[in-house]
Structure 1
Amino acid sequence: MRRPLALLALIAGTLLFVASPPAAATAPGAASATASPTAAFTKTSAWDAGYQGAYTVTNGGGATLTGWTVEFDLPAGTAVGSYWDALLTRDGSHYTFRNREYNGTLPPGGTATFGWVSSGTGEPANCRLDGAPCTGGTGGGDTTAPGVPPGVTVGSPTASSLTVRWNAATDDSGAVAGYDVSRDGGAPVSVTGTSYTATGLQASTGYSFRVRARDAAGNTSAYSAAVSGTTAPSGGGPQPGGGVRTAPYVDMGAWPTPSMPTMSAASGIKSYTMAFITASGCKAMWFNAYDPRDGWAKDQIDAVRAGGGDVKVSFGGASGIELAQACGSVDSLFTEYDAVVTAYGLKYADFDIEGSATADPASVARRSQALARLQQAHPGLRISLTLPVLPEGLTADGLNVVRSARDAGVDLDVVNVMAMDYYRGVDYGDAAVQAARSTFAQLRSLYPGRSDAQVWAMVGVTPMLGQNDDGHVYDQADARQLVAFAQDEHLGELAFWESTRDRNACTGALYMCTNIPQSPYEFSKIFAPYTG
């Protein structure tokens, strides 16, 4: 959503350059047990029509590797789409990836990873690294499988999910590259950590899981013994929805800084969504000006909570750089998210993903994995994704963001759609309702194990009050229409952009006015009674 012009002027001229991370390296002499370089394939996420794949090149030899080339074949019906951290040439179904300038030099034990998004589900075959088998040398190299992962357990049941956890396996090379988790004997899902949350399950149903380890040379252990768990009954355990049901956005970068407690007292709104935390390098900052670790505006959050409401903090927005694009690793991204959640004692976190951030598969995957870890570190944390929408539903990129989060094990509370700026000659009240219906249909296909009521409780809608950027108008009658629809279907959340515009009730620049006839807080008073 939009940043006010005053704030844009404040941060104009500040350029953030995000360098691609260098390849991880170990000191010379710390070479792994492998005798030569290897390249190991993993699926970092998968969906019905494709997957996100990656190769990790490991220098298992005793001399520095200066440049590398990985080539492989894909079966008919599968092709590489977008890719990163390598240069690609293609000859029919044969793909050749070469190192970039920043990740080609690998000391003994050093690694570099590149990846791509696949259309189609076929996996690479006939892999060669610098002309030799990807498993090392001329067929020799590391042929020792890792140990079986110990301590596998199943727990944290909800009506639609179970979480599998295990202890790290051992390998002769020093560390494993990842793990495969099989549910009920089915095709495995590849993960890099030591936990996995299976979602979309049936309530009151038993499931069994097995886990195996993979090393960088592609060797796999035997599966662990099967362990079982049972999902909670329908209506029991943590469920989608609940919690804050009306939480309009407040642009905290407006000047003077808005006061949520004052607006709450005047409008009847109990809860708000504070916008936006963006990246200053790989560091979370309030619009590149204030460090959330210092608890900026926490006094406002405390006052809202004391009044019986709560506050979501929103990361992202239309301006600035989203943290998942600025941070080059899951660990560094998780550290920033965790710092904000801890500083404010958050129960709710929102991630407003717009523009290039929705179409960047590397940052999408990083964010999903970091959010899964964030929920593990903060049990009960409710996470919402705020995404662009059309009356026909989420865009293809937005849908991939949701799918990636689901597959990484994130328990999404709400998928909040930005019902605004369609640049079409449509009634914006009708379009908001249609966007909600379309998003419901999409989520129902992504979460087949959930009831209609549970899926509706995942849907959030955020229109832009008054005049939109495209000149079309969302008025008070449209707001009443949306609230009535939400009451009928019990939507998970209603919000709007943005509370200071509603307070000002003026005609002028769109970052501060709605440009339609209204009284102060008129929209807030329409939305405030909605409780789900």
Structure 2
Amino acid sequence: MQRSRLRLAIYASAAVVAVGGGTVAAFAATSPGTKAASGLRAVFSTDSDWGSGYQAKYTITNNTGATVNGWTLAFGLPSSAKLGSFWDATITTAGSTETARNPGYAPTVAPGATATFGFIVAGSGAPTSCTINGASCAGGGGTVTTAPTTAPTKTPTKPPTTAPTTKPTTPPTKPATAPPTTSAPGGGGGGSTLVAPYVDMGLLSNGSTTLAQLGSSGNLKSFSLAFVTSVGCKASWFNAFDPRSKQFADQISAVRAAGGDVKVSFGGATGIELAQACTSTSALQAEYQAVVSAYNLKYVDFDIEGAAVADPATIARRSTAIAALQKANPGLKVSLTLPVLPEGLTADGLNVVKSAKSAGVDLDLVNIMAMDYGRSGQDYGDLAIQAVKSTKDQIKSVYGNSDAAAFKMVGVTPMLGQNDDGGKFTQSDAKDLVAFANSNHLGFMSFWELNRDKNACSGALFQCTNVSQSPFEFSKIFAGFKG
């Protein structure tokens, strides 16, 4: 889920390989004190700049003749710039220095190969310094100590996905006040998925728990199912299952029998989103349609983050395909899940919304990933509320609607407990955000991620919130959202 979770550096896990009739998760860890080969280079570049911030990346190239096992890149930012969300790396902040390390799913860089990670910066100013494995980014070496990345011990039938991530990453629902049944632009409401936390479906594949069990424990009925990505130009549950095989259909039927429903979310922070993999709009629409048909969906979500949020060609292709998908499926509700800062959607994210409108998409919701701001000393509940207000104003500017109608088009998805950037979204923050959402009648509430709330533990962020809580405590707070 968000860029680093839903976005979003949530997973320390690696690949999924097919074995017989199922799949087994294969996990890679980097040993402390691994000797790295010399000759690494890292180049900074900016993908987009909107004045008050920018999106950038580092591209690491292994110019040696040996595989590099683990990398650590440290860069300094000027006082005018502050790191926000990030993806394809884990980043920690100490003063003005940001330290990025390889993600657990990609611990090595082969000879001649590259590795890339991206991030959002609020403010202005390029990095003032850069070292890779302790030496100059112009061509360094040294010894890198990378903390072992412990992956889940389960062997899921499918791999853990992102959020959100982060985030993204992410959502069960709550019994909702009936929202509008039409989906005119600015309508909002989310239908029976008014509250629908994201569920990393990769964590449910071994049958140890079900959507229905998660919902009953947390007073929730509906869920956002993460994530459908691609294998070539073919839809895939996180590179493990073809949705045409109707994986999870029994669980979805049980959710509907209990009065809830699901959104299937395309995209996320890891993997390749279908719009990036399919070069033909008609082929892209066909893959979206295959998922809609497999599960008789009334709601679909597009979690667009990382490089995908800044790629004009795939944005336009996706928008055109979604508009055609809606025409072929009257009443299908569409949400866009996008990275956000307290100041609102980035320029890239706002362009995604504008593209959808221009293509004729009947947009139900703009769901903001209210997490990973890079402001760990501040109140993440207050920042989420600020982000909602800022996004509402942006929606008004695009659609020309009222405050009430714009608020109805906003969904909000925080990351429970500790965020990837070290900030924390607490139970008190959740209560404040739900109260604000009720007062202003937002269209949708979610969070990343339901299994983390169930586990109520301290440990790896893909499975723990790292705050003191009882199981499903956040779920029960979010269930208080009435729309």
On whether the aligned pair clears a TM of 0.5, the verdict is: yes
Q: How far has the Cα of 1:237 moved from its partner?
A: 4.8
Provide the rounded CA distance (Å) in 2 between the counterparts of 1:336 and 1:467.
35
Does structure 2 conserve the Cα–Cα contact (< 8 Å) formed by 1:278 and 1:288?
yes
Residue 16 (structure 2) aligns with: 10
Specify the SS of the correspondent of 2:232. coil
1:236 Cα deviation after fit: 9.2
429, 445, 458: which one aligns with 1:494: 445
CA apart distance, 1:253:
1.1
Question: Distance in 2 between the 1:495 and 1:488 partners?
Answer: 17
1:457 to 389, 398, 408: 408
Q: Is the contact made by 1:499 and 1:524 (CA closer than 8 Å) also made in structure 2?
A: yes
- The alignment covers a number of residue pairs equal to 311
Q: Structure 2: which 5+ runs fail to align?
A: 18-24, 28-179
Separation in 2 of the partners of 1:474 and 1:377? 40
Q: For 1:259-307, what per-residue CA distance to the aligned partner results, in whole angstroms no more than 9, with x for missing partners?
A: 1111111111110000000010000000110010111001111111111
Equivalent residue for 2:265, pick from 305, 314, 323: 314
**Which of 523, 526, 529 is the equivalent residue of 2:474?**
523
- Counterpart of 1:253 in structure 2 is 202
Q: Is the 8 A contact 1:270 1:528 kept in 2?
A: no
Query: Structure 2: how far apart are the matches of 1:7 and 1:285?
Result: 18
CA-CA distance at 1:245 after TM superposition: 1.1
Residue aligning to 1:418: 369
Q: Secondary structure at the match of 2:203?
A: coil
Aligned pair partner of 2:292 in 341, 354, 358: 341
Question: What are the Cα deviations for residues 455-510 of structure 1, in whole angstroms up to 9, with x where unaligned?
Answer: 11100000000000111110000000000000011000000000000000001110
Long gaps (5+) in structure 1: 15-234
Q: What is aligned with 1:434?
A: 386
CA-CA distance at 1:9 after TM superposition: 3.4
Matches within 5 A, 1:114-513: 237-239=182-184, 240-242=187-189, 243=191, 244-254=193-203, 256=206, 258-424=209-375, 425-448=377-400, 450-513=401-464
Could you state the TM-score of these two structures normalised by the residue count of structure 1? Answer: 0.57
Deviates more, 1:476-485 or 1:452-461: 452-461
- Does the Cα contact within 8 Å between 1:7 and 1:253 map onto a contact in 2? no
Cα deviation code 1:14-47 (max 9, x no counterpart): 9xxxxxxxxxxxxxxxxxxxxxxxxxxxxxxxxx
3-state SS of 1:503 partner: helix
Residue 324 of structure 1 deviates from its aligned partner by 0.3
State the one-letter code of the partner of 2:379: D
Task: Kindly provide the CA deviation profile for residues 222-241 of structure 1, in whole angstroms up to 9, marking residues without a partner as x.
Answer: xxxxxxxxxxxxx8954422
Q: Is the 8 A contact 2:10 2:420 kept in 1?
A: no
CA distance, structure 2, for counterparts of residue 409 and residue 310 of structure 1:
26
| CA deviation string 1:390-422 (max 9, x = no partner) | 000000000000000000000111000000001
Counterpart residue number, 1:28: none
CA contact (8 A) 1:275 1:314 kept: yes
Instruction: Report the AA paired with residue 395 of structure 2.
Output: L
How much has 1:250 moved relative to structure 2?
0.1
- Would the aligned equivalents of 1:7 and 1:254 in 2 still touch at CA under 8 Å? no
Q: Offset of 1:7 from its aligned partner?
A: 4.9
- SS of the residue corresponding to residue 366 of structure 1 reads helix
- Structure 1 residues 253, 13: closer, same or farther in 2, change over 3 A? closer
SS in 2 for 1:253: helix
Structure 1 distance, partners of 2:396, 2:482, is 23
- CA shift digits 1:366-388 (9 cap, x unpaired): 00000000000000000000000
**Mapped contact 2:183–2:363 kept (Cα < 8 A):** no
Q: Distance in 1 between matches of 2:444 and 2:215?
A: 18
Q: Secondary structure at the match of 1:462?
A: strand
TM-score normalised by L of structure 2? 0.62
RMSD, matched Cα: 1.8
| CA displacement at 1:429 relative to structure 2 | 0.6
Alpha-carbon distance between aligned partners in 2 of 1:358 and 1:6, rounded to the nearest angstrom: 23
Letter in 2 for 1:391: P
Distance 2:300 2:237 in 1: 14
Structure 1 residues 454 and 298: CA distance shift in structure 2, 3 A: same
- Alignment partner of 2:453: what SS? helix
Structure 1 residue 531 displacement after superposition: 2.4
Give the letter aligned to residue 297 of structure 2. L
| Contact preservation (8 Å) 2:222, 2:260 | yes
Distance 1:510 1:238, change over 3 A: closer
2: CA distance, partners of 1:13 / 1:404: 38
Please give the alpha-carbon distance, in whole angstroms, between the structure 2 residues aligned to 1:422 and 1:523. 20
